[in-house]
Amino acid sequence: MTSIPLRMYASWPDAALLDAMQTDEEGAFGELYKRYCYRLFSVAYQKLKSREVAEELVQDLFADLWSRRATHQIQQIEYYLFSALRYRIINYIKAQKVKSGYELYCRLAPPEVSTNTEETLAAQDLSAALLAGVRKLPEKSRKIFQLSRLEHYSVPEISVRVNLSEKSVEYHLTKSLKLLRSYLRDFLVATLPLLLLQLYK
């Protein structure tokens, strides 16, 4: 493999760098990384508001690009990178929503409901039911509840964001928790016979 000074790659068009990378030229890969990493990071950070996650997604994207360099069929590297990053961002957001829903269920589930692996045949249904309950809350209560339980803002911070007194914020949180516990209890009563049938099959 011919050794090419790294500074020479800076004058190459994307297509030439892509061809060179596919023949294992690390310098060409390094130039592509230098050209696009910051722009990709900026997009990821704008969407996710987390420097650590944005960096991780971009690093993972380039690691995948290099590891599959010989088999990738890429026509436009810029389009490919930003499209691939968009899918990674969407998948991350979806995974976080599932995680948040399950954590919320675990926090609000009544003590008698076990969450250990063998006894949660309907865990996904319960989580979905709880999120449905959140969506049924009055708009103001729902916003305050999400800020508190999902985004972890304090009562004083929420008070400023929604322009209500701290006492009003606490009222909405208490009201939301009562409604959600009631909703979850009704769901469990409705599904308990099905759960028992599955357990004793």
Place of tokens 């998948």: 91
pLDDT of residue 13: 92
Q: Within this chain, do residues 116 and 192 fall inside the same structural domain, yes or no?
A: yes
d(CA 56, CA 31): 19
pLDDT of residue 63: 92
> Which tokens in the block code for residue 67?
């590891």
One-letter amino acid at 115 equals T
Q: Has this prediction a pTM greater than 0.85?
A: no
Q: Within this chain, do residues 81 and 165 fall inside the same structural domain, yes or no?
A: no
For 15, the domain range is 6-98
pLDDT of residue 104: 61
Q: Is the dihedral of CA 156, 159, 161, 163 positive or negative?
A: negative
pLDDT of residue 106: 61
CATH of the domain at 76: 1.10.1740.10
Q: Contact, 126 vs 201, CB < 8 A?
A: no
Tally of residues, the chain: 201
CATH of the domain at 193: 1.10.10.10
Number of domains in the chain: 2
Q: How far is CA 187 from CA 37, 104, 117, 128, 129, in A?
A: 47, 15, 20, 11, 7
Q: Within this chain, do residues 90 and 132 fall inside the same structural domain, yes or no?
A: no
pLDDT per position in the chain (201 positions), as tens?
A: 455 666 788 889 999 999 999 899 999 999 999 999 999 999 999 998 889 999 999 999 999 899 888 887 888 999 999 999 998 888 888 777 766 665 565 655 555 444 444 444 455 555 666 677 777 788 888 888 888 877 777 888 888 888 888 888 888 888 887 877 777 666 555 554 444 444 444
Which of 98, 118, 142 terminates a domain? The answer is 98
Which of 74, 98, 122 terminates a domain? The answer is 98
- Give the CA radius of gyration of the chain: 25
DSSP letter, residue 108: H
Q: Contact, 100 vs 107, CB < 8 A?
A: no
Q: What share of the chain is helix, strand, coil (3-state, %, to 5)?
A: 80, 0, 20
Q: Within this chain, do residues 11 and 38 fall inside the same structural domain, yes or no?
A: yes
In a domain, 132, yes or no: yes
Q: Within this chain, do residues 118 and 165 fall inside the same structural domain, yes or no?
A: yes
Which of 98, 123, 155 terminates a domain? The answer is 98
Q: How far is CA 143 from CA 20, 162, 200, in A?
A: 51, 9, 41
pLDDT of residue 127: 61
pLDDT of residue 98: 64
Q: Within this chain, do residues 41 and 86 fall inside the same structural domain, yes or no?
A: yes
In a domain, 67, yes or no: yes
